[in-house]
Amino acid sequence: MRKMLITGGAGFIGVNAVRFFAAHDWDVTIFDNFSRRGTEYNMERLNADMPGRVRVVRGDVRTDSAKLRELAEQHDAILHLAAQVAVTTSVTDPRNDFECNALGTFNVLEAVRLSERRPFLLYSSTNKVYGGLENIPVAEEESRYVFAEGLQGVPETQQLDFHSPYGCSKGAADQYVRDYARLYDMKTVVFRQSCIYGPHQLGVEDQGWVAWFLIAGIFGRPVQIYGNGKQVRDLLYVDDLIACYHQAIEHADTVAGKVYNLGGGHENTLSLLEFLDLIKQEHGLDLPYSFAGTRPGDQPIFISDNSAAARDLGWRPATDVRSGIARLVEWLQAHKKDLQQFYASSGK
């Protein structure tokens, strides 16, 4: 059985990946420090659904480099997801953000470099490495921003422009992961991910907005929209992201040393206003909202050009945004009691 280490495996994308790979005959180890609220809950559900199937190592990518070195020697692939994930938190505590994202990734890279086994490393980067995209002309329409010159999506050749400590730390890690492939002949791949959504997402105001808005709708709680609500995102359903990770592992030689943008693409975009309208029309979720100032560095529109991943891996998002949201609403409704408790105790 092939062995996979998933750092941050108790988080949102992590538990979805753990479930997928464990169900596809991988021996999976989670490495997580359980700092994200909700990770213990994710593990309870995982243990209930797949008892004894997954090994868990409590550890911290900032400090446990010796442990990471041991683990690199024992695994064929490492999916590196562990991170400080909120832009807002990165601004209030930039040192922790740097240590988790830049130093943490460096520790993972060094663990691979110094190993005999040299596992394949997949890194979850972000479209935030492109900054505010000021050089791309944008027009404003009634419910959304659009690319003014008919651009379908942002390619990997877009100039890097790190905004915020989060953008800087994820971007530094992104470049390290890429360069270690060149310099040390390691097999690594970088995925610059758009907005990911799906089951097991315990969104908070600062991160995971799709789930956050839906949960607010289910409980009738008000939300704030930063900016005018016309900002557009391409939404990628988490199963489709993991399908891409899977394809990449099966074609490691093809993708090694490369960088891919991954998002819902131009067929799966919504502005915040359109999203609110959709969940009202299709799911009866009519949540009160108010407007607040634009967040610094917030992209008016991001749509991923997925053509590199399509060309090299034959990958494209299989879940259209309407069906994906319907599936997430169904999952949230099914776990409403737990979520009620979770959000009542988190005070958010």
Ligand X SMILES: NC(=O)c1ccc[n+]([C@@H]2O[C@H](COP(=O)([O-])OP(=O)(O)OC[C@H]3O[C@@H](n4cnc5c(N)ncnc54)[C@H](O)[C@@H]3O)[C@@H](O)[C@H]2O)c1
Task: Please give the positions annotated as active site.
Answer: 166
Q: Which of 169, 193, 299, 304 binds ligand X (CB under 6 A)?
A: 193
**Torsion angle of C-alpha atoms 228, 213, 170, 82, degrees rounded to 10:** 170
Q: What is the DSSP string of 293-308?
A: PPPTT--SEE-B--HH
Residue range at the interface with ligand X (CB under 6 A); choices 5-13, 150-158, 215-223, 340-348:
5-13
Of 100 and 332, the one with the shorter C-beta distance to ligand X is 100
Q: Name the residue with the smallest CB distance to ligand X.
A: 11
Q: Does 233 bind ligand X (CB under 6 A)?
A: no
Closest CA to 143 of 231, 227, 213, 233: 231
- Considering only the stretches 30-38, 130-138, 145-153, 328-336, report the one whose residues sit in contact with ligand X under the rule CB under 6 A: 30-38
- Positive/negative CA dihedral, 343, 341, 218, 36: positive
DSSP output for 26-39:
-EEEEEE---STTH
203 binds ligand X (CB under 6 A): no
CB 151 within 8 A of CB 158: no
Q: Is 82 in the site for ligand X (CB under 6 A)?
A: yes
Residue with tokens 């390619």: 155
Of the two residues 61 and 146, which places its CB atom closer to ligand X in the complex? Answer: 61
Query: In angstroms, what is the minimal distance from the CB of 81 to ligand X?
Result: 4
Contact 105, 173 (CB under 8 A): yes
C-beta closer to ligand X: residue 39 or 115: 39
Residue 15 and residue 200 in contact, taking contact as beta carbons nearer than 8 Å: yes
Rg (CA), the chain: 19
85 binds ligand X (CB under 6 A): yes
Is 88 a residue that touches ligand X (CB under 6 A)?
Answer: no
Judged by CB under 6 A, the stretch of 87-95, 156-164, 188-196, 287-295 that binds ligand X is 188-196
Options 3, 5, 8, 190; binder of ligand X; rule CB under 6 A: 8
DSSP type of residue 56: E
Of these, 81, 172, 329, 339, which contacts ligand X (CB under 6 A)? 81
- For residue 10, state whether it binds ligand X (rule: CB under 6 A): yes
Of 200, 201, 202, 232, nearest to 303 by C-alpha is: 232
- Kindly state whether residue 107 participates in binding ligand X, applying the rule CB under 6 A: no
Q: Is 240 in the site for ligand X (CB under 6 A)?
A: no
Q: How far apart are CA 71 and CA 163, in angstroms?
A: 33
Q: Which residues pair with 3 in a beta bridge?
A: 27
Q: For the segment 307-326, give every residue that binds ligand X (CB under 6 A).
A: none
Amino acid identity at 155: P
Binding residues among 122-181 for ligand X as defined by CB under 6 A: 124, 126, 170
Nearer to ligand X, 119 or 220 (CB): 119
Residue owning tokens 């949230």: 332
Which residues bind to ligand X, rule: CB under 6 A? 8, 10-14, 32-36, 39, 60-62, 81-85, 100, 104, 124, 126, 170, 193, 195-196
